[in-house]
Structure 1
Amino acid sequence: MGHKKLIRFRAIEGFRNVLQYPKHMPGTWHEFFQNNHPITLELACGKGEYSVNLGREHRNRNFVGVDIKGNRIYNGAKIAIQEGLDNVAFVRGQIDHLNEYFAENEVSDLWIVFSDPFLKKPKNRLTHPRFLKLYQQVMKEGGVIKLKTDSRELYDFTHEVIAEQSCSIVEDIQDIYSKGKATGALAIQTFYEKMHLAEGRTIYYLAFTLPAHPIVVPERRKKEAEEDAAAE
């Protein structure tokens, strides 16, 4: 591990807005924020650009960025502290352990922004049914999942999952910039988005809600996961 990363890992240990593998937190987030405002998650948040920018614009909501890489979280956490954004926090932890960090009905909605599309390992995509099943355990009914990506593969895959799980599409934009839809929250640009736009890539946006019935991972998706595991 590089010297710079070590410095950042040590630094976040003292940041009041960073919690590492916080299994003691389910059901207590409103005590942490000292309010009863809705909680929005940013999954695979990287440097936390969405959490920070949304926190600036919506002081009546709480935002929690989740990522395993503490050296990236450091950036957003430091900015939030410097700007006094008490409605922004970060969790260093595994997304597939989300139900160990949040309680049932504790999350209002969530963002998935330029996450790894895992082209060779569909089971790791954050819109795979195994993840939707996990989100269903912590989200309020009717909470919106918002995907912003430059990956046509991930966008199409998510459409397939939405159809098979009977999710409801809230908004579907195949090219937010050509259609003049890069406004409000969609105008926030992460480090990766700026890089992708410079390369001329198309940016997709898909927002949807989970069904009222429990998410069930289809056998063919389970088989995909087994094949992925065997190939590792």
Structure 2
Amino acid sequence: MRQRHKPWADDFLKENEHIVIPNAIDNKGEWQSIFKNGHPIHIEVGTGKGQFLVGMARQHPEINFIGIEVSKSVIVSAAEKVLDSGVENLLLLNEDAADLREMFTENEIATIYLNFSDPWPKNRHEKRRLTYRTFLEQYKVVLDPKGKVIFKTDNRELFEYSLVSFNEFGMKLEEVNLDLHAIEDPLNVMTEYEEKFAAKGQVIYRSRASF
């Protein structure tokens, strides 16, 4: 979906650099110092308008969360949600997550969330899928040895592709859920897309994998 241009976004981000941290590469290896605690760090790649991470930050004050979103027009909506919520364990990065190793050091992250990522259905775009092996390679570096990749999607083809990709990379599948909402997981926090798809009766898939 094309996002509406927000001419005030630059000024808003400048005024809220305590939430949307600029120059992420300069903070590589220092994220716990920025949060001012030693709590584990969970990141979401493609955080969108922030509903999922705000909900997670409320649910888990013992965890630090970082949301990464490349679209400036979208991340300002996420930042507004953070401000309104008052949570103090959530930061945002207006960055292209093409290589997480530029922003995080080895073993710095405890969990990576991939929620409703672009499926890039054409074969020639396979390398852009966030569960393609080159992305898994960087996840393995930044994740703690006990870290996890948690993936949710409504796209069955992408889900099946990702399970194969995880397996071929040698990852351990700890959860493969073919109908997430059927189990009524009380700890599941829905994204904006998830709410929309669930309301239409679409099945939501979830997997949890480790290296």
TM over 0.5: yes
Please report the RMSD computed on the Cα atoms of aligned residues, expressed in angstroms. 1.7
Distance in 2 (CA, whole Å) between partners of 1:127 and 1:103 is 20
Distance in 1 (CA, whole Å) between partners of 2:3 and 2:82 is 24
Q: What runs of 5+ residues in structure 1 fail to find an aligned partner?
A: 211-232
Q: Is the 8 A contact 2:3 2:74 kept in 1?
A: no
1:125-175: per-residue Cα shift (whole Å, max 9, x none)?
111110011111211102010001001011101111122111101111101
> Which range is displaced more, 7-16 or 87-96?
7-16
Q: Is the 8 A contact 2:4 2:73 kept in 1?
A: no
Distance in 1 (CA, whole Å) between partners of 2:148 and 2:99 is 20
SS in 2 for 1:131: helix
Q: Is the 8 A contact 1:9 1:71 kept in 2?
A: no
Pairwise CA distance, 1:41: 0.3
Query: Partner residue of 2:186?
Result: 183
TM-score by length of 2: 0.92
Query: Partner residue of 2:9?
Result: 8
Pairwise CA distance, 1:56: 0.6
Amino acid at match of 2:106: E
Distance in 1 (CA, whole Å) between partners of 2:50 and 2:57 is 10
Distance in 2 (CA, whole Å) between partners of 1:93 and 1:137 is 19
Q: Is the 8 A contact 2:178 2:206 kept in 1?
A: yes
Q: Is the 8 A contact 1:177 1:203 kept in 2?
A: yes
Query: Partner residue of 1:196?
Result: 197
Amino acid at match of 1:9: D
Percent identity, please.
29
Query: Partner residue of 2:149?
Result: 145
Amino acid at match of 2:159: Y
Q: What runs of 5+ residues in structure 2 fail to find an aligned partner?
A: none
Query: Partner residue of 1:119?
Result: 121
Distance in 1 (CA, whole Å) between partners of 2:104 and 2:77 is 23
> Which range is displaced more, 54-63 or 90-99?
90-99
> Which range is displaced more, 15-24 or 109-118?
15-24
Distance in 2 (CA, whole Å) between partners of 1:149 and 1:26 is 29
Amino acid at match of 1:48: G
SS in 2 for 1:162: helix
Pairwise CA distance, 1:21: 4.0
Query: Partner residue of 1:50?
Result: 52
Map 1:202-217 → 2, pairs under 5 A: 202-210=203-211
SS in 1 for 2:166: helix
- Residues 173 and 181 (structure 1 numbering): CA distance in 2 closer, same or farther, change over 3 Å? farther
Pairwise CA distance, 1:10: 2.5
Q: Is the 8 A contact 2:42 2:109 kept in 1?
A: yes
1:171-198: per-residue Cα shift (whole Å, max 9, x none)?
11101123x24320x2x22221122123
| Larger-Rg structure | 1
Q: After TM superposition, which residue ranges in structure 1, 4 or more long, deviate above 4 angstroms?
A: 1-4
Pairwise CA distance, 1:13: 2.1
SS in 1 for 2:175: strand
Distance in 2 (CA, whole Å) between partners of 1:82 and 1:197 is 25
Query: Partner residue of 1:216?
Result: none
Distance in 2 (CA, whole Å) between partners of 1:2 and 1:103 is 32
Amino acid at match of 2:148: V
> Which range is displaced more, 99-108 or 33-42?
99-108
Distance in 2 (CA, whole Å) between partners of 1:100 and 1:71 is 23
1:129 aligns with 2:130: no
Pairwise CA distance, 1:4: 5.2
Q: 2:37 aligns with which of 32, 35, 53?
A: 35
1:58-88: per-residue Cα shift (whole Å, max 9, x none)?
1111000011012211122222223321110
